[in-house]
Amino acid sequence: MQNQGQNLEQNHERPPIDLNALRHTTAHVLAQAVKRLYPTVKLAIGPSIADGFYYDFDTDKPFTPEDLAAIEKEMKKIIKENLPLESFALGGEEALQYVDEQAEPFKRELIEDLITPKDAAKEPATEFSFYKQGEFVDLCAGPHLDKTGRIKAFKLTNTAGAYWRGDEKRPMLSRIYGTAFPTKDELAAHLERIEEAKKRDHRKLGREMGLFFFSEDAPGMPFYMPKGLQLKNRLIEYWRKVHKRYGYQEISTPQIMMGKLWERSGHTGYYVDSMYGTVIDEAQYYVKPMNCPGGMLAYGTELHSYKEFPLRLAELGLIHRAELSGALHGLMRTRQFTQDDAHIFMMKSQVKDELKNVIRLYEDVYAAFGLSEFSFELSTKPDDAIGTAEEWEEAEAALREALEEMGRDYVINEGDGAFYGPKIDFQIRDSLGRSWQCGTIQYDMQLPVRFDLTYIGPDGGKHQPVMIHRTCFGSIERFLGVLTEHSAGWFPFWLTPVQAMIIPISERHHEAAQKVLAQLEEAGIRATLDDRGEKMGYKIREAQLAKIPMMLVLGDKEVEENKVSLRSRENGDEGAQDLGELIAKWKIASDF
């Protein structure tokens, strides 16, 4: 080992930098720079996150772009100083006294909560770790680099507001986001991806393409314009067709149901803060935040036989959740959305095969949208779980064995299952390499018991079914948001709201253009006509900005030869084409 260390030193080599340690250290350098420039600012927290880091500060005024430039400059000075990072530990009272001397009230709160945990099952902390670099000291468990000089490539990216501990009743803090990479080339590539992501932002494209918008009059609730609703409806048509092929029956349940139903299901005990309530005839009602209880009532309306199993009841349910305003993000995080849910009832002996069936369904669906890269995450028993340890072991084993028998790799997400059972999450990777959680499969061991659901078994007696909850898209809205950014608004031909734009060169070609439009519409091709008195180049650019894949140009020659001149996204100018042949080809391409 000594020789190896000597060789590394002689060759001026170092072991690879751990990204988490690099970004965590850069967050500390950020906080140190802020304290140097703005000594009265109070420190909150500064973790490393996917693709970067952030730090929250309590300031009198939000940080400006000019502030970020000054902070970056100061950070570079700290990095150049090559300050060593040294850790030390203090007992509870010493730690409290230390952060009080530093006048850091948020650090005091963190220490107090660890000394006296709100969760009685957690052990009280008796020792607290701090990291020091130069004059700057922060409460932190690490990990960190050994010196600030090892930071070679970083960038502060943006600022945002963030409630302390995510609680809207607590102080609003100023958050600075940044990122760091081992090399300047890796940082440059990442910043390029960020710029591309801004261009693909579904909120921006949604407005530009006339698909959907958001209003302060209904925060977190999307408004669909004609083309956007057409896109959503087309997605739902596909959903219905593929689910019918996989043996699902569609149901619909009420949006508002009595409070006692949600108490019976257990949801009020876990989600009541996220539920919208109202009083009708002096009784408490809730707007549904999920479809599950309605699905239980639908199953319970009649006595079922094992011969009907697996019984697959699917629902496109309109859901409302009281999300915090700071958590809202376009279609990705809304207060109103359409959840593509299903509840599958079966015998225990059928669980593993049905899990495989659902996984195959999801893989077919994602492939239809060009989303072929995804990974599986198996979430296990959480601290607030209900049910016996034996039930959880059996359920987790079923999910694990289904994935392994299908040859699917997965990672374990310890303690992140639903309170009623473990789950498999699908993490979809988009064209920019970002990961999105869409589909989920949850094994529910509790609701059939709570709703006293039964079936007649092979022995003629009554038995209790087991159940799988599952959502394929997660929600129609979220999936549309992911798909918009993945495709940069260039949706698959069969899905795109407007498949073809007809562009007459002059007014004398309008009549022929109208006939072409009628033929396309009769064939089921979604087309529109641009008969404005604008120049051709302008119309073509407008169609490209609207992400319309096909443009049919009509001039004297085309009208005379009874043809159209085709410009496509893939091939540009394709010249004169027979309209009938195009329609036949497009009808095939429009089928899902």
- For 267-317, the pLDDT digits (tens) are 888 889 899 999 999 999 999 999 999 999 999 999 999 999 999 999 999
Question: 3-class DSSP state for residue 274?
Answer: helix
Q: Could you tell me what percent of the chain has a pLDDT over 90?
A: 78
Mean pLDDT of the chain: 92
**Angle at the Cα of 498 from the Cα atoms of 496 and 501, rounded to 5 degrees:** 140
DSSP 8-state symbol, 149: G
Q: Is the pLDDT of residue 80 over 50?
A: yes
User: What's the pLDDT band for 446 if we cut at 50, 70, 90?
Assistant: confident
The two structure tokens encoding residue 512: 């022929």
Residue 281 CB burial class (10 angstroms; 0-12, 13-18, ≥19)? exposed
Instruction: Find the catalytic residue in 108, 144, 200, 321.
Output: 321
pLDDT of residue 591: 86
Binning pLDDT at 50, 70 and 90, where does residue 435 land? Answer: confident
Q: Could you confirm whether 292 is annotated as catalytic?
A: yes
| Annotated catalytic residue within 155, 469, 470, 539 | 469
Question: pLDDT category, 12, cuts 50, 70, 90?
Answer: very low
Residue 2 pLDDT greater than 90, yes or no: no
Is 341 catalytic? The answer is: yes
Catalytic residue among 32, 133, 339, 442: 339
Considering the candidates 343, 381, 526, 567, report the single residue annotated as catalytic: 343
Q: Is 384 a catalytic residue?
A: no
Q: Would you say 340 and 312 are in contact if contact means Cβ atoms under 8 Å apart?
A: no
The structure tokens 């239980």 sit at 296
Query: Can 343 be counted among the known catalytic residues?
Result: yes
Two structure tokens written together for 65: 């772009």
Residue 11: pLDDT over 60: no
Model confidence at 497, pLDDT cuts 50, 70, 90, reads very high
- For residue 8, what pLDDT is reported? 38
Question: Terminal CA-to-CA distance of the chain, rounded, Å?
Answer: 61
Does residue 326 or residue 89 have the better pLDDT?
89
Work out the average pLDDT over 521-525: 95
Query: Which amino acid is present at 258?
Result: M
Closest CA to 312 of 250, 235, 245, 399: 250
pLDDT (tens digit per residue) in 344-368: 999 999 999 999 999 999 999 999 9
Q: Is 76 a catalytic site residue? A: no
pLDDT tens, 371-390?
888 899 999 998 888 888 89
Identified catalytic residue from 423, 478, 526, 567 = 423
Known catalytic residue at 51: no
Under 8 Å between Cβ of 144 and 86: no
b/e for 514-536, b at 16 or more Cβ within 10 A? Answer: eebbeebeebebbbbbbbeeeee
d(CA 167, CA 567): 53
pLDDT (mean) for 575-581: 93
- In percent, the amount of the chain with pLDDT more than 70 equals 97
| Nearest residue to 181 (alpha-carbon basis) of 170, 190, 193 | 190
pLDDT (mean) for 227-232: 95
Q: How many CB atoms lie within 10 A of CB 225?
A: 16
Would you say 436 and 250 are in contact if contact means Cβ atoms under 8 Å apart?
no
pLDDT tens column, 171-205: 999 999 999 999 999 999 999 998 998 999 999 99
Residue with tokens 């209900």: 386
Q: Which residues pair with 181 in a beta bridge?
A: 153
Q: What is the pLDDT of residue 29?
A: 97
User: Residue 326's pLDDT is what?
Assistant: 75
- How far apart are the C-alpha atoms of 328 and 182, rounded to whole Å? 32
Kindly state the tokens that stand for 192: 């390029």
Model confidence over 208-217: pLDDT tens digits?
999 999 999 9
Cα(584)–Cα(568) distance, rounded to whole angstroms? Answer: 16
pLDDT of the residue at 5: 40
pLDDT value of position 440: 93
- Residue-level pLDDT at 503: 95
Cα–Cα nearest to 312, from 247, 253, 369, 365: 247
The single residue of 56, 340, 341, 425 carrying the catalytic annotation is 341
3-class SS shares of the chain: helix, strand, coil, % to 5: 40, 25, 30
Question: Which residues, at least 6 apart from 393, have a Cβ–Cβ distance to it below 8 Å?
Answer: none
> Which has more confidence, 166 or 330?
330
In the numeric block, which tokens belong to residue 247?
A: 């043996």
Query: What's the full length of the chain, in residues?
Result: 592
Check if 138 is active-site.
no
**Structure confidence at residue 4 (pLDDT):** 40
CA distance 275 to 215: 21
CA distance 410 to 426: 10
Tell me how far apart the alpha carbons of residues 179 and 156 are, in angstroms, rounded to a whole number.
Answer: 6
Round to whole Å and give the CA distance between 36 and 19.
26
Res. 521: pLDDT tops 50? yes
pLDDT in the model for residue 353: 95
- pLDDT for 549 equals 95
Phi, psi of 326 (to 5 degrees): -70, -15
> Per-residue pLDDT averaged across 545-557, rounded?
93
- DSSP code, position 506: S
Q: What is the pTM of this model?
A: 0.83
Q: How far apart are CA 455 and CA 325, in angstroms?
A: 44
pLDDT value of residue 121:
66
Q: What is the CA radius of gyration of the chain?
A: 29
Q: Which pLDDT does position 14 carry in this prediction?
A: 55
Contact 252, 315 (CB under 8 A): yes
